[in-house]
Amino acid sequence: MNSERIILIGYRGSGKTTVGQLLAHQLGWTFADADEHLEAVAGKSIAEIFVAEGEPGFRDRESAALADLCKRDRLVIATGGGAVQRPANRELLRSSGFVAWLTASPETSWNRLRGDPTTAARRPNLTPKGGFEEVQTLIAARTPLYRELAHFSADADTRSPEEVAAAILKAWNGGLTLPSHSGVSGSSSSG
């Protein structure tokens, strides 16, 4: 599959922004972070949206942001980690471009999130306990959705962002499924 959009999915801290920026640069395309787009349109942060509108209001805004971005060509989109929760979002993303799932362990994701000074201010807890337990719970809950949606998956846990970007570009260009020992694999899901 070769399309005018590459869409990156995966949990927070999987490297979607870093890999997305690399891909956009290599392709000469534009990069868009769906959460940043949502905040720009709303004129407030995700945390402020959660306070004012709750998670349902945020998810409505997220769906609208994705619909807007999926109309644009020559674009690499980094989605929010929970964008896959709504069936309509999954349908939109899968039909709008090449979907690459960046996988990372809960430990890696948690360590990356703790090292990002903007995480606490921009990203509210989505479960009562928050922290590492939330990361584990949400990755486990979302993994089947990521798997269902992805045209391709890449191990962002042990590979560098440059290696992940190169694997995605190779798969996007030729629809290749790389051997599993490479740390990158094609999605076995259909539809």
Q: Domains of the chain (ranges plus CATH)?
A: 5-186 (3.40.50.300)
Contact 76, 27 (CB under 8 A): yes
Residue 75 has pLDDT above 90, yes or no: yes
Please say whether the beta carbons of 15 and 164 come within 8 A.
yes
Instruction: Report the length, in residues, of the chain.
Output: 191
Mean pLDDT of all residues in the chain?
86
What's the mean pLDDT in 138-167?
A: 95
Q: Is pLDDT of 155 > 50?
A: yes
Element containing residue 154 per DSSP (H, E): strand 152-155
**Which residue stretches of 5-130 are H helix?**
16-27, 34-42, 46-69, 87-96, 106-115, 119-122
Mind listing the pLDDT tens digit for each residue in 36-70? 999 999 999 998 999 999 999 999 999 999 999 99
pLDDT band at 167 (very low <50, low <70, confident <90, very high): very high
- 1 has a pLDDT exceeding 80: no
Please say if the pLDDT value at position 190 is more than 90. Answer: no
- pLDDT recorded at residue 125: 55
Query: Do 114 and 23 contact (CB within 8 A), yes or no?
Result: no
Q: How far apart are CA 160 and CA 35, in angstroms?
A: 23
CA distance 33 to 98: 16
- Number of neighbouring beta carbons within 10 Å of residue 128: 7
* Main-chain dihedrals φ then ψ at residue 48, nearest 5 degrees: -65, -35
Q: What is the pLDDT of residues 77-117, one digit of tens each?
A: 999 999 999 999 999 999 999 999 999 999 999 888 887 76
Kindly report, residue by residue over 128-144, the tens digit of the pLDDT.
577 889 899 999 999 99
Question: For 146-161, what is the mean pLDDT?
Answer: 95
**CB 39, CB 80: distance < 8 Å:** no
Query: Which of the given ranges, 3-7, 96-100, 121-125, has the highest pLDDT on average?
Result: 96-100
Distance CA 186, CA 168 (A): 10
Question: pTM of the entire structure?
Answer: 0.86
